[in-house]
Amino acid sequence: MLASARATRGVVALALLTALLTASEAAAQETEGVRAVLVTGASSGIGLRMTEVLSANGFFVYAGARKAEDLERLNTMANVKSVRLDVTIQSEIDAAVALVQSEGRGLFGLINNAGVSVMGPLIELSEEDMDFLLDVNLTGPYRVTKAFADLLIESEGRILTVSSIAGILSGPFNGAYSMSKHGVEAFTDALAAELAGFNVTVAAVEPGNYKSQIVASMVKRMRASGYSAEGSRYGSMLDMISGPLDRSQYKEPDDVALAALDFLSSDSPKRRYMVVPSQYEADITIRQAMRELAQLNEGHAFSHSRDDLVQMLDEALSEAPPSSSQSPQTPSRAGLHQAVLEGNLEAVQEHIEAGSDLNEREPSGGSSPLITAATFGRTEAARALIDAGADVDQQNNDGSTALLTAAFLCRTEIVAALLDAGADKSIRNSAGSTALDVVTVPFDDVKGFYDYLGAVLGPLGLELDYEQIKATRPRIAEMLR
């Protein structure tokens, strides 16, 4: 009996062992060939779109989020497992590592996407807000990357950190956010050099202005903290700039997600993926990088000649990886906005004759070609657009029309052409100002805003003559009365 019982237990144990091995083999087969990727900040915006695109294109995605309802929603997606992950809490990061290890898939890719924004003058921003921003945007990627480094080295995987064109540009009142993204650029370069010997590929993606929740979250935090323009030394200027923060009409971040897919799939991924919704954002970013290059080369013992710089640029271009078939953006001929920006009247006329949309909104700020013409003083282009039937009362994201813009920037001839075309003088922008209001408020009260426009749009060719503006404002006011 005893021998029989032992034999029976042996058969049962062998059966259980066989079952466990079979289950293990099945799990291994299920995950074989499927590369796993962790995306932080996956509950909305860019992170959510990346999760959707990657999970639909052969990747298994661990989607990091903080709120219970977001975790539940992400878990309903195919090839996605939600992970509770606040990049500022080390215990949650450690738990995420343990979860990924226990799943047996390994980890091929890490996308550091979680980010926040804080807006305000640097000399008025609270230290608490600065610490909050840097903790998420800069120390967060450092923490997560460090925690998952062993898994990524084991897989010879890839790390993509979401930077921004703000990592190249630094505009007024966006200084804190730009600081964090400039830090991400440095983090990416140093990490790429340090991990190259382990065959881990590192890159940054630099999105422009796309639809996201980051600004809405920023506004909520600013309001909760009681911060406003009232009492600020920047006054109405801060109100005018912080007004147009609604990104609901911005372009979906599909191209940013496709850049992530290219980085994870390509045999020759790029070090940087600048992904912007418009030629305007591409131009202003590249021009700023070139301007900084010129500043670095200016007036010292080891400056290079123009010919030297051109040769260096040619060498750098030759080192760039070949274009991928999955490249998210393909170049096309200059659009109507670009033709207006360049003052290329012939190209503007070609667009008009071809039936191009004369009221097409520029993705970043929602400006029409006519508003662009008013901004940069392209008088002939403005007249051509008006004559062709462009909407003279169309508003951009901050509520400004071509008339409001032309008045503020003292484009006398464009103001006259718009008034002749019946432009509505009563329309108010998001700050509550009409065209007349913007030229009757004391110049010193809005000088800061002119400074802001000059800093942001100067790389695109905006030139502001303050003496001419001060002399012309009364004349514009008379035209509008």
Q: Any idea which residues carry the catalytic annotation?
A: 177
Query: Does the residue 20 lie in any domain?
Result: no
> Looking at the structure, do residues 146 and 229 belong to the same domain, yes or no?
yes
Among residues 298, 324, 354, the one where a domain terminates is 298
Query: Does the residue 397 lie in any domain?
Result: yes
> Looking at the structure, do residues 55 and 166 belong to the same domain, yes or no?
yes
> Looking at the structure, do residues 284 and 411 belong to the same domain, yes or no?
no
What's the confidence (pLDDT) of residue 322?
64
> Looking at the structure, do residues 292 and 349 belong to the same domain, yes or no?
no
> Looking at the structure, do residues 229 and 348 belong to the same domain, yes or no?
no
Query: Does the residue 8 lie in any domain?
Result: no
Give the pLDDT mean for 149-159.
98
Query: Does the residue 136 lie in any domain?
Result: yes
> Looking at the structure, do residues 292 and 409 belong to the same domain, yes or no?
no
Query: What confidence tier does 50 reach under pLDDT thresholds 50, 70, 90?
Result: very high
CATH number of the domain that residue 166 is part of: 3.40.50.720
CATH number of the domain that residue 441 is part of: 1.25.40.20
Question: In the predicted model, is pLDDT for residue 241 greater than 70?
Answer: no
Alpha carbons within 13 angstroms on the beta-carbon side of residue 77 total 25
Query: What confidence tier does 11 reach under pLDDT thresholds 50, 70, 90?
Result: very low
Share of the chain above pLDDT 70, in %: 83
Edge-first strand listing for the sheet containing 80-84: 80-84, 59-65, 35-39, 109-112, 158-162, 201-207, 272-275
Query: Does the residue 331 lie in any domain?
Result: no
Burial 179-214 (b: 16+ CB within 10 A, else e): bbbbbbbebbeebbeebeeeebbbbbbbbbbbbbbb
Taking CA atoms, 456 is separated from 315, 341, 378, 464, in Å, by 30, 15, 18, 12
Question: In the predicted model, is pLDDT for residue 447 greater than 90?
Answer: no
What's the domain range around 402? 336-480
Query: What confidence tier does 411 reach under pLDDT thresholds 50, 70, 90?
Result: very high
387's tokens: 């004559």
Query: Does the residue 326 lie in any domain?
Result: no
Mean pLDDT of the chain: 86
> Looking at the structure, do residues 97 and 156 belong to the same domain, yes or no?
yes
> Looking at the structure, do residues 254 and 387 belong to the same domain, yes or no?
no
Question: In the predicted model, is pLDDT for residue 342 greater than 90?
Answer: no
What's the confidence (pLDDT) of residue 155?
98
Q: pLDDT of 60-100, one tens digit each?
A: 999 999 999 999 999 999 999 999 999 999 999 999 999 99
277's tokens: 């919704």
Query: Does the residue 16 lie in any domain?
Result: no
Name the least confident of 208-222, 235-249, 391-405.
235-249
Question: In the predicted model, is pLDDT for residue 212 greater than 90?
Answer: no
In this structure, the number of other CB atoms found within 10 A of the CB of residue 13 comes to 10
> Looking at the structure, do residues 293 and 341 belong to the same domain, yes or no?
no
Instruction: Indicate the helix (H) or strand (E) that contains 109.
Output: strand 109-112
Give the pLDDT mean for 304-329.
78
Among residues 282, 298, 314, the one where a domain terminates is 298
Name the least confident of 103-107, 217-221, 249-253.
217-221
Taking CA atoms, 67 is separated from 43, 57, 99, 216, 222, in Å, by 9, 26, 18, 17, 21
Burial environment of residue 307 by CB neighbours within 10 A (0 to 12, 13 to 18, 19 or more): exposed
Give the pLDDT mean for 135-157.
98
Name the least confident of 183-187, 273-277, 337-341, 380-384.
337-341
**In angstroms, rounded to a whole number, what is the distance separating the alpha carbons of residues 64 and 89?**
13
Query: What confidence tier does 29 reach under pLDDT thresholds 50, 70, 90?
Result: very low
Q: How many domains does the structure of the chain reveal?
A: 2
Query: What confidence tier does 460 reach under pLDDT thresholds 50, 70, 90?
Result: confident
Among residues 249, 275, 298, the one where a domain terminates is 298
3-class state of residue 400 by DSSP: coil
Name the least confident of 149-163, 211-225, 390-404.
211-225
Give the pLDDT mean for 143-167.
98
> Looking at the structure, do residues 282 and 359 belong to the same domain, yes or no?
no
Query: What confidence tier does 331 reach under pLDDT thresholds 50, 70, 90?
Result: very low
**In angstroms, rounded to a whole number, what is the distance separating the alpha carbons of residues 212 and 370?**
27
**Cα dihedral 446/452/455/458 (nearest 10):** -60
Query: Does the residue 387 lie in any domain?
Result: yes
> Looking at the structure, do residues 168 and 250 belong to the same domain, yes or no?
yes
> Looking at the structure, do residues 285 and 343 belong to the same domain, yes or no?
no
What's the confidence (pLDDT) of residue 229?
61
